[in-house]
Amino acid sequence: MERPRPILRPEGPIVVETVGLNVHYGSFHALREVSAAFAANHITALIGPSGCGKSTYLRCFNRMNDLIEGARVSGQVLLEGEDVNTPETDVVELRRRVGMVFQAPNPFPMSIFDNIAYGPRLQGVREHSRLEEIVERSLRAAALWDEVKDKLRQTAIALSGGQQQRMCIARALAVEPEILLMDEPCSALDPTATFHIEELMLELKQRYTIIIVTHNMYQASRVSDYTGFFLLGELIEYDRTEKIFEGPADPRTDDYIRGRFG
């Protein structure tokens, strides 16, 4: 048995942490004994080569792995101290508290307004003025309001890729989550759109805790406060972003950020 790695506990309040988290896909051990704590109102980046388990890890926080055939998750995910990885957990409620933005923008084929109002309507908000208020607030928070305020009734499919992704962020914000998970949110976007999203993330961390999976190490170093490096399903190193990028403790982290593999 390996000895357990020391867990970095960021200063300040912790919103969510995992304790000894394992994920198996059938006989494949995708995530091994991952323990980490995440600081409120900070951005944490998860980096590592493809297939290292970082997306799998991200999907544990809102139980999206439940949807994957043959996936088994064991260990604890403590959201404000309470384990949400139990059969009794209300997954619907959990997903309202932990929002997610996906790799490819996934606007619903309906109007921009209906996209943003989707979550609030699920929660029973019917009053139109209230919905209008939520839509405007969410689009403003996602820095998209000025671009779309005159075409809220038009289909969201017609937006550009970058706008679609910001709309998806707005849609996630509309249910007022505590945590925002972002799974390579810029991988389908051009540099300008990526820049917009990064600016937006720095803006959003005032109010939300953000955990982002990214392939782009520059992005991780630009936006994140903490960085976790995954390799073959293990969290190899987790520390302040400057520490990871300027003097990582583990040689494998050093190899990866210097582009020697992955």
Enumerate binding residues for other proteins (CB under 8 A): 62, 64, 67, 69, 92-93, 95-96, 99-100, 102, 104, 106, 108-109, 118-119, 122-123, 157, 168, 171-172, 175
As measured in angstroms, the least distance from the Cβ of 204 to other proteins is 17
Nearest CA-CA partner of 113 in 161, 162, 170, 57: 170
Judged by CB, which is closer to other proteins: 60, or 257? 60
As measured in angstroms, the least distance from the Cβ of 101 to other proteins is 9
Judged by CB, which is closer to other proteins: 172, or 217? 172
Residues sharing a CB contact under 8 Å with residue 192, sequence separation 6 or more, in sequence order: 162
Residues sharing a CB contact under 8 Å with residue 10, sequence separation 6 or more, in sequence order: 37, 38, 39, 42, 225, 226
Judged by CB, which is closer to other proteins: 66, or 242? 66
As measured in angstroms, the least distance from the Cβ of 98 to other proteins is 9
Tokens 């550009």 found at: 160
As measured in angstroms, the least distance from the Cβ of 119 to other proteins is 4
Judged by CB, which is closer to other proteins: 62, or 253? 62
Nearest CA-CA partner of 117 in 141, 136, 90: 136
The secondary structure of residue 111, as a DSSP letter, is B
Judged by CB, which is closer to other proteins: 53, or 119? 119
d(CA 57, CA 23): 8
Per DSSP, the three-state class of 238 is: strand
As measured in angstroms, the least distance from the Cβ of 106 to other proteins is 4
